[in-house]
Amino acid sequence: MVKVNWVGLWTLIRREVGRFFSVYRQTVLPGLISSGLYIVVFGFTLERRIDEINGVPYTLFILPGLLMMNTLTNATANTSSSMLQMKLLQQLPDILTAPLSAMEISIAYIIGGTVRGTVNGVLVMILGIVLIDMPVHSPISTVCFIVMVSWAFASMGLVLGQLSDSWDQLAMMQNFFLTPLSFLGGVFYSINMLPGWAQTISLFNPIYYMINGIRFTTLGIADTSPLTSVIMALIMTILFTTLAIGLMHSGKKIKQ
Amino acid sequence: MKTPAVEIRGLKKSFGKVQALDGVDLTIKQGEFLGLLGPNGAGKTTTINILTGLVIRQEGITEIFGKDTVKDYRFTRSKVGIAAQELSIDWFFPVERLLLFHAGYYGLPIKQAKNRVDKIIKKLGLEEKRGTRLRQLSGGMKRRYQLAKALVHDPDIIILDEPTAGVDVELRHELWDYLRKLHSNGKTILLTTHYIEEAELLCERVAIINKGKIIKDGSPIELTKQLGQSGLTIHVTGWDDKMKNLLDNFTFTYDEGRLHFSVLDPEKDMATIIKILTKNDCHIQNINVDKASLEDVFLDLTGERIS
């Protein structure tokens, strides 16, 4: 039977969650403020000039996408920055010399990122409900999907954090890949508004499925089947969790 | 015979083309205070980092209380507390919370962890700094925290990597006293240092490491006796070159009233030399004994100075 250091695992989870809550001004409030600004700007200016999309007013249409963008960027940022910071500030040896397995360390980090992603996503959802009366078609599915996507991107963030040697490298991966993929994943538009070739390219963007998945659980509309979205999220979760644990086990870039 | 606290056999490790460890063999008995002495880059930190799982072992055996440090890492790591040379920095949590986290990683339930942290904070004089963030601590306080972290789970083996590097004399002596206490309480201590005085004063046994190999080990007294030549300097009047024959059992030089002897045991040889000199009307003005140090031993073995 596999032995688990439950106390150690729980302690590391508490540390990871406590870490981002202790700086909530940097980790929780910004996403909420920027989402609020999007709602205000689009709600009061652009909405009058843009037609409804799939029968939904424009501000309402973009809100699930903003929620998802906020969720996945926060989940990724939590694990990647925490891991890199631990490496650069000589804190990682504290964990690597403790009787914790590679799996326990990885899972604790991923849970920390998942909590941050979920908190940020749920707060944007509440903001949407309060400000523009956003309907939530299926609240349980919405929260479950947020948690699943948070887990997938927290795992990805852990991989990025472990492979990065500097803040510059990490920022490059986030700015050149994650942010463009988020914007091109259909936060602000429906894929049907794009020319044929662009629609085909969009199908290779995993974030497209995440945004449409959450749009379905909240508004009940989507450009793709909700089942495809769930399968994509599941594939990403399994792939990046396996990769993160495997990489931690190998000691690459964290052990000499 | 008791299982050794630490057993290292044929340990090899290279970083690219640099052979950091070239077959290290070292056994540390339970309750022993061992100093791993060597210059920077000799392989001290690599050795302890392999023991604690920070560096991946390439070849050889590393065991803690008879268990392999890779296969049985949960057991071996729970037995060891390490105070690393590099001071870690944390931006988020105060000292007490960090120590509680550290105890938790080692599986101590919260109540037990709180008791241990309270005890260790008091012992190491960190009481006033409980609520202070790590980055706000002075260098000396950070060293105390580093030691507190190593001791928080009450390990049987304490590994200290250059624990007094960069601390003032007062704190150094305070830390030395504390280490002596830990040792008298039965803890096994492995100390890496390039401070000769530290190794001589604290360690029961010293292993000298150079270029990735243990080149000699023994108690500081044994090592200096075996390898170090002590110096005995005597200023005299009434010297006659004929006396050279009487002292031909000793290695010595004479220069303008200054006799310098290289002896293995100055306390024993001094009496004989004084007897010969005074018997032959040579008046002694003063005597100086320069005891060999581990520095001399290292010099003798490698032809290089340790620091």
Q: Where are the alpha helices (DSSP H) in chain A?
A: 6-22, 24-27, 29-44, 58-88, 92-96, 102-132, 139-163, 167-173, 179-183, 196-202, 206-219, 226-250
Let me know if residue A1 belongs to a domain: no
Residues of chain B in contact with residue A1, where contact means CB-CB under 8 angstroms, are none
In angstroms, rounded to a whole number, what is the distance separating the alpha carbons of residues A95 and B270? 56
Please identify, among B224, B245, B266, the residue that sits at the C-terminal boundary of a domain.
B224
Let me know if residue B304 belongs to a domain: no
pLDDT at residue B110 in the model: 92
Over chain B (307 residues), the average pLDDT of each successive run of 10 is: 91 90 93 89 91 92 94 94 85 92 94 94 90 87 90 94 81 88 93 82 89 87 71 84 84 80 77 87 84 70 66
Q: Both B238 and B191 in a single domain?
A: no
B92 touches chain A (CB under 8 A): yes
Residue contacts between A and B (CB atoms, under 8 Å): 86
Q: Both B282 and B184 in a single domain?
A: no
Q: Both B181 and B40 in a single domain?
A: yes
A5 touches chain B (CB under 8 A): yes
In angstroms, rounded to a whole number, what is the distance separating the alpha carbons of residues A110 and B178? 40
Residues of chain B in contact with residue A99, where contact means CB-CB under 8 angstroms, are 73-75, 77-78, 105-107
Tens of pLDDT, residue by residue over A67-120, are 999 999 999 999 999 999 999 988 899 999 999 999 999 999 999 999 999 999
pLDDT at residue A238 in the model: 97
Number of domains observed in the structure of chain A: 1
B55 touches chain A (CB under 8 A): yes
Let me know if residue B31 belongs to a domain: yes
Residues of chain A in contact with residue B75, where contact means CB-CB under 8 angstroms, are 99
Q: Which residue of A has its CA nearest to B55?
A: A256
Q: Is the CB of residue B15 less than 8 Å from the CB of residue B2? A: no
Amino acid residing at A169: Q
SS3 call for A252: coil
DSSP-assigned beta bridge partners for residue B230: B263
SS3 call for A80: helix
Residues of chain B in contact with residue A94, where contact means CB-CB under 8 angstroms, are 88, 102, 105, 149
Considering only the beta carbons, identify the residue of A14, A99, A251 that sits closest to B56.
A251
For residue A166, the distance in angstroms to the closest alpha carbon of chain B comes to 17
Query: Would you put residue A177 in left (φ > 0), alpha (ψ -120 to 50) or beta?
Result: alpha
Let me know if residue A255 belongs to a domain: no
Let me know if residue B300 belongs to a domain: no
B57 touches chain A (CB under 8 A): no
Are B54 and A256 an interchain contact pair (Cβ–Cβ within 8 Å)?
A: yes
pLDDT at residue B107 in the model: 93
Are B104 and A11 an interchain contact pair (Cβ–Cβ within 8 Å)?
A: yes
Q: Is the pLDDT of residue A157 over 90?
A: yes
pLDDT at residue B222 in the model: 79
- φ and ψ at residue B185, rounded to 5 degrees: -85, 5
Q: Both B200 and B283 in a single domain?
A: no
Q: Both B213 and B272 in a single domain?
A: no
Distances (CA, A) of B261 to B37, B207, B251: 28, 28, 6
Q: What is the mean pLDDT of residues A27-40?
A: 88
For residue B8, the distance in angstroms to the closest alpha carbon of chain A comes to 18
Q: What is the mean pLDDT of residues A237-242?
A: 97
Task: Supply the range of the domain harboring residue B177.
Answer: 6-224
Mean confidence (pLDDT) of chain A: 90
Considering only the beta carbons, identify the residue of A90, A97, A101 that sits closest to B52.
A97
SS3 call for B126: coil
pLDDT at residue B303 in the model: 65
SS3 call for B83: strand
Q: What is the mean pLDDT of residues A206-214?
A: 93
CATH number of the domain enclosing B188: 3.40.50.300
Let me know if residue A10 belongs to a domain: yes
Q: Is the CB of residue B90 less than 8 Å from the CB of residue B102? A: no
Please identify, among B174, B192, B224, the residue that sits at the C-terminal boundary of a domain.
B224
For residue B78, the distance in angstroms to the closest alpha carbon of chain A comes to 6
DSSP per residue, B169-199:
HHHHHHHHHHHHHHHHTT-EEEEEES-HHHH
In angstroms, rounded to a whole number, what is the distance separating the alpha carbons of residues B46 and B286? 47
The rounded percent of chain A whose pLDDT value lies above 90 is 61
Mean confidence (pLDDT) of chain B: 87
Task: Supply the range of the domain harboring residue A160.
Answer: 6-250
Q: Which of A132, A125, A138, A150 is nearest to A217 (CA)?
A: A138
Q: Both B216 and B264 in a single domain?
A: no
Please identify, among B208, B224, B240, the residue that sits at the C-terminal boundary of a domain.
B224
Confidence bin at A1 (pLDDT 50/70/90): low
Q: Is the pLDDT of residue A218 over 90?
A: yes
Considering only the beta carbons, identify the residue of B75, B92, B105 that sits closest to A12.
B105
Number of domains observed in the structure of chain B: 2
Please report the beta strands in B29-177, taking only residues with DSSP state E, as ranges in sequence order. 33-37, 59-64, 67-68, 80-83, 157-161
Q: Which two tokens stand for residue A80?
A: 């990647």
Q: Both B158 and B110 in a single domain?
A: yes
Angle of CA points A89, B42, B45, to nearest 5°: 35
Tens of pLDDT, residue by residue over A190-206, are 888 888 888 888 889 99
